[in-house]
Amino acid sequence: MINSVTDITAKQLVQMLASGEEITILDVRYAKDYARGHIPNAINAPVPWEELPTNLPMQGDVVVVCYLGLYNRDCSKQLSLERGGVYRLEGGMSSWQGALSSDHFVTKWSKERYIRVIYGSTVILSALTAHYFVPWAWSLTFLAGIGLVLGGLFDRGPIMSLYRGMGYK
Interval 9-15 mean pLDDT: 90
Interval 84-90 mean pLDDT: 89
Decide if 95 contacts 14 (C-beta within 8 A). no
Interval 17-28 mean pLDDT: 88
Give the global pTM: 0.58
For 5-95, CATH gives 3.40.250.10
Q: Which of 53-57, 96-100, 147-151, 152-156 has the lowest mean pLDDT?
A: 152-156
**What residues have CB less than 8 Å from 22, skipping those under 6 apart?**
59, 60, 61
Higher model confidence: residue 11 or residue 147? 11
Identify which of 16-20, 57-61, 114-118, 137-141 has the greatest average pLDDT: 16-20
Nearest to 82 by CA among 47, 52, 102, 120: 52
d(CA 3, CA 82): 8
Interval 45-60 mean pLDDT: 78
Report whether pLDDT(158) > 70: no
**What residues have CB less than 8 Å from 16, skipping those under 6 apart?**
8, 23, 61, 63
Interval 146-154 mean pLDDT: 76
What are the domain boundaries of the chain?
A: 5-95, 111-162
